[in-house]
């Protein structure tokens, strides 16, 4: 079994290779148009609606994308390519997500101020988002600190009435900054390939 991250990358690669998805413009192949159905035509639109409700349709029932997504080549090649890419994409994702959460927190503080309840809610919600989105981040390579455990502890502590919320917020931002910094090199690699 491949990890979820490798599976997602492999599916993306296969969709691009099949021609179903065009990453240059973010468009999908119009499969219905390939079968003579124009979804902008009210008659065809109604036909598709009926089919989605279970009404048989000879053309729509026969649509099969298997030949487009099944590679005659070695299927292990796609898994290996995805695994190779995951070694750069996944750490880059951690850095980008951490930076994004930092941006959201800073934006919310700028908009809402530093009121106790809004700060408590912000720490709790964004801490939970971070812990979920970054759950695969390993311990810090330099210090050995598990920053995801740290984020979880901050989130829990922020719910206590006596919590020092400004300190909790600073600690949350520091942990997220550590993740963003630790994996920034992977983002740089992606940026080099994108140029």
Query: Is the residue at 134 inside a domain?
Result: yes
- Indicate whether 117 belongs to any domain: yes
62 & 134 share domain: no
Q: What pLDDT is stored for residue 73 in this prediction?
A: 60
The tens place of each residue's pLDDT in the chain, 195 residues long, gives 788 888 888 888 888 888 899 988 999 999 999 999 999 999 999 999 999 999 999 999 999 988 887 665 666 777 888 888 888 899 999 999 999 999 999 999 988 777 888 899 999 999 999 999 999 999 877 788 898 999 999 999 998 989 999 999 999 999 999 999 999 999 998 888 665
- Which of 47, 75, 103 marks a domain boundary? 75
| Structural domain range at position 118 | 86-194
Which of 41, 75, 109 is the endpoint of a domain?
A: 75
Query: How far apart, in Å, do the first and last CA atoms of the chain sit?
Result: 34
Is residue 59 one of the residues assigned to a domain? yes
Q: How many domains is the chain partitioned into structurally?
A: 2
> 80 lies in a domain?
no
Based on the fold, state whether residues 129 and 161 are members of the same structural domain.
yes
Of 17, 41, 75, the last residue of a domain is 75
Domain match, 116 and 178 both: yes
Cβ–Cβ < 8 Å for 48, 60: yes
3-state secondary structure of 28: strand
104 and 69 share one domain: no
pLDDT of residue 194: 60
| Predicted confidence (pLDDT) per residue in 66-85, tens digit | 888 766 566 677 788 888 88
Claim to verify: residue 190 and residue 144 sit in the same structural domain: yes
Structure confidence at residue 79 (pLDDT):
83
């Amino acid at each position: 079994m491949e990890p979820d991250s490798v599976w997602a990358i492999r599916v993306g690669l296969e969709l691009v290779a099949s021609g179903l998805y065009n990453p240059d413009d973010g468009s999908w192949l119009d499969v219905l148009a390939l079968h003579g159905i124009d979804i902008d035509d009210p008659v065809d639109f109604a036909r598709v609606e009926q089919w989605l409700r279970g009404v048989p349709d000879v053309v729509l029932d026969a649509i099969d994308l298997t030949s487009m997504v099944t590679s005659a080549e070695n299927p292990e090649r796609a898994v290996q390519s995805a695994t190779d890419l995951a070694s750069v994409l996944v750490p880059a994702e951690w850095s980008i997500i951490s930076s994004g959460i930092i941006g959201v927190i800073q934006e919310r503080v700028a908009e809402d101020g530093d009121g106790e309840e809004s700060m408590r809610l912000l720490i709790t919600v964004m801490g939970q988002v971070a812990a979920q989105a970054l759950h695969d981040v390993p311990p810090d390579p330099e210090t050995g600190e598990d920053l995801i455990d740290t984020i979880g502890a901050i989130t829990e502590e922020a719910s206590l009435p006596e919590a020092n919320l400004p300190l909790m917020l600073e600690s949350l931002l520091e942990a997220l900054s550590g993740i963003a910094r630790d994996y920034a090199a992977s983002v740089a690699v992606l940026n080099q390939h994108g140029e």
